Structure 1
Amino acid sequence: MNKKRFKSTSVIINERIFVIGGVESVYIKPKVFDTVEESSHASVIYKGKIYVFGGHSASRDYLSSVEVYDPNANRWTELSPMKWKRSYFTAVVVNDSIYCIGGVYGLFCIGQVEKFDPSSNRWTEVSNMPVKDSGFQAIYHNEKIICFGGWSNGKIQVYDPAKNTWEIIGKCPNQRRNYIALILERSF
C-alpha cells in the first residue's frame, strides 16, 4: 500500500488482496477503486464480488450506501441503500443473503438488523439485536450468526435466521472492539 491507513476493510479474491477505504490523517481513496471513500464501513465477499456497506464519508457523514465491485470487470455498481445509516457495524453472508448488524449512528449504538438480497437488490428489516452494539464482530456458524465483543460489555448475542430470533448466551472474558474474527477451516 502506498499509504498507512486504518478504519479500512480488506478481502482476498483469487489470491489478490483488496484494501477498501480507510483514513490516514485525512480521508484517502485507494487507486484501485473509483468510488469508495468510506471508512468504518463493512465489506463481504459474495459470489466473487466485493460488497461494501455504509460507514463514514470523507466529510464524516454517516452512510447507508451499498456498492459492489466486480474484480473481473474492474467495475463498481451502486445498489439499493440500507434503510439505516451506520458505521462500526458488521456484515455477514448467510446463504444467499447479507446481514448488516448493529453499529453507530451519531453518538449512539444501534441494534437494527437488515437483510440484503443481492439477486433482487432489496432490503428487509429483521429482529433487532437485544443489546445495541458497535465495534463487534460476527461469524456464521452452525446455521446461526454469532456476534461478540464490541462496546456493549462484550455480550455474546446469537441470531437464528430461520426463526428470526436473538438470544444472549454469555459474555466475552475480555472486552474487545474493532478487531477481526474468522473461522479456520482446519485445525493445527
Structure 2
Amino acid sequence: MHWYEHDKTEREKWLAALISSTRLVQFDTVFITQHIQILPGCEQIARNALKWISKPIKHNTAPTSVYKKPRKQRLCLLAIQNSTTLPSKQVKYLQRYNRALDVWQRCCEVEYLDCIYDLVLHHESLLFFGARTHGLQKHTTIKRLDLKTLTWNKTVKLERRRDELCVALYGDNIYTFGGFDGSQALNTVEIFDIHKSCWQPRASMNVCRYGASTDVYDKKIYIFGGWGADGKPLNSVEYYDPKKNVCVKCTNMFEARGRPGLALLNHYIFIIGGHNNDGALTSVEQYDPQKDSWITISLEHVEQFGISAKTMSGHEVYALTERYYLSQIVTVKTPLSVYGSNLYVEVPNNFTNKLQTKFLSRH
C-alpha cells in the first residue's frame, strides 16, 4: 500500500498485476474489503478472493490463480467474554484478532451467554462447558456453537452442576477436571465418549481444585494451580495419563496461582500471572515437563489474573488479559474493544470469516 501511495499516478497501471500476484486469502475479509477492493483495477480480484475464502477448506480441484491458492489452513484467534462483571442479559461479542491490522474486531454477537465456563474447539464447533448464571447458579448445560451453520445447540449435559472446571481435548476425546459445585471443590475427572454419547468417570485428581489451567504435552494432560477445597489458591501440579488412567503428582510451582495464564512453547510450559493469598501476581514460571522442574521469569508489569495466554508466530508467548494483548517483552500491543475477562481459542480462518461477514451484514 505504501508503494502505491508514494506515486499513485505512475504506479496505478501496475497495481492490479501486483495485487493479483499476492495470496489474498492470507488476509482477513475486512482487510480485503476495506483496503484492497477500493483500489483501482482491483475490484474483481478482491471479489474473487472473498468468494474463495468463503468456501470450505477442502476442494476437489486446484485453484487456477496464484492469488487464490492458500499455502495452508490458517487459524484465527478468537476472544470470548467470560466475565462475571458484565451486567446480566447484556449482549456479548466474539472478537477476532486481525494480524494484518493488529487490532481486535467484533465478529459475532452472543446474547445471554453465561460466565465462568471453559471451552474447546471440537468437530468444527465451539463447546462451552459448565457455567454459572449471573444469579450465581451453577448448571450442567453444554452449549454448542456450530461454526458451519452458525447455530446454537445443546448437547449431552455434564453429570454434575459446576463452574470453573477445566476442559482438555486429547485426540478425539474431551476430558473435564474438577470445578466448583456451589459448596465444594471437586477432584473428579471425566471423559466424554463420543461414540456412546455419554460421560464416563476416570481416576480422580490428587487434589480438589477449581479455576485451574490445563495443557496437553507428550500424551499427558497437565493441570496447574487453581483454588482448593479450603478456597485458597494452590501451587500443586499434576498430570493425567489417559492411557494408564492415573493422575500423577508433579513438582509444585514456586507460587500458588488461581486462574493463571498458560502457554506451551519449545517444549516448555509457561505459567503467567494468577492470584494468590496476597493478590494478583506479576511473575511468570517456566516448567520443564521432561525434568519436572521450574524456573522463574521476571515480568515487570501490573498484576493480572483470570487471563489466558497464547503462543504466536511460533517464537513468542503472549499474555492475554481482559484489557491488553501483551508480549513477553511487556509491550502493550492492542486493547480489546470491550471490558471483561476473556477466553481465547484458535479457529479456522474460513469459519471466522463467515461469523464476521454475517455480523457486518447486520450493522
Q: TM-score, normalised by structure 2?
A: 0.48
1:175 offset after TM fit, Å? 2.2
Q: Matches of 1:12 and 1:68 in 2, distance apart?
A: 16
Q: Which amino acid letter does the alignment assign opposite residue 297 of structure 2?
A: I
- RMSD over aligned CA atoms reads 2.0
Q: Matches of 1:67 and 1:172 in 2, distance apart?
A: 38
Q: Aligned residue for 1:90?
A: 213
Q: Matches of 2:112 and 2:238 in 1, distance apart?
A: 33
Q: Cα deviation per residue 1:97-122 (whole Å; 9 max; x = unaligned)?
A: 01111111123211111111000101
1:69 to 192, 197, 201: 192
1:73 offset after TM fit, Å? 3.7
Aligned CA distance change for structure 1 residues 185 and 72 (closer, same or farther; 3 Å) = farther
Q: Aligned residue for 2:337?
A: none
The answer to whether 1:13 aligns with 2:136 is no
Q: Aligned residue for 2:297?
A: 169
Q: Matches of 2:313 and 2:168 in 1, distance apart?
A: 18
Aligned residues, how many? 186
The answer to whether 1:154 aligns with 2:265 is no
Q: Which amino acid letter does the alignment assign opposite residue 27 of structure 1?
A: K
Aligned CA distance change for structure 1 residues 171 and 60 (closer, same or farther; 3 Å) = farther
Q: What SS does the corresponding residue of 2:310 show, helix, strand or coil?
A: coil
Q: Cα deviation per residue 1:32-82 (whole Å; 9 max; x = unaligned)?
A: 23315221111111001111100101x331000011113354221110110
Q: Which amino acid letter does the alignment assign opposite residue 167 of structure 1?
A: I
Describe how 1:91-130 pairs up with structure 2 within 5 A.
91-105=214-228, 106-130=230-254
Q: Is the 8 A contact 1:21 1:37 kept in 2?
A: yes
More relative contact order in 1 or in 2 (CA 8 Å, sep 6+)? Answer: 2
Q: Aligned residue for 2:170?
A: 46
Q: TM-score, normalised by structure 1?
A: 0.90
Deviating more after overlay: 31-40 vs 122-131: 31-40
| Structure 1 residue ranges without an equivalent (≥5) | none
% of aligned pairs identical?
A: 22
Q: What SS does the corresponding residue of 1:183 show, helix, strand or coil?
A: strand
Q: Is the 8 A contact 1:148 1:172 kept in 2?
A: no
Q: Aligned residue for 2:139?
A: 28
Q: Is the 8 A contact 1:20 1:36 kept in 2?
A: no
Q: Is the 8 A contact 2:174 2:192 kept in 1?
A: yes
Aligned CA distance change for structure 1 residues 71 and 174 (closer, same or farther; 3 Å) = farther
Higher helix share: 2
Q: Aligned residue for 1:135?
A: 259
1:139 offset after TM fit, Å? 1.5
Q: Matches of 2:140 and 2:225 in 1, distance apart?
A: 25
Deviating more after overlay: 70-79 vs 8-17: 70-79
Q: Which amino acid letter does the alignment assign opposite residue 82 of structure 1?
A: M
Q: What SS does the corresponding residue of 1:88 show, helix, strand or coil?
A: coil
The answer to whether 1:79 aligns with 2:169 is no
| Structure 2 residue ranges without an equivalent (≥5) | 1-109, 142-153, 316-363
Q: What SS does the corresponding residue of 2:190 show, helix, strand or coil?
A: strand
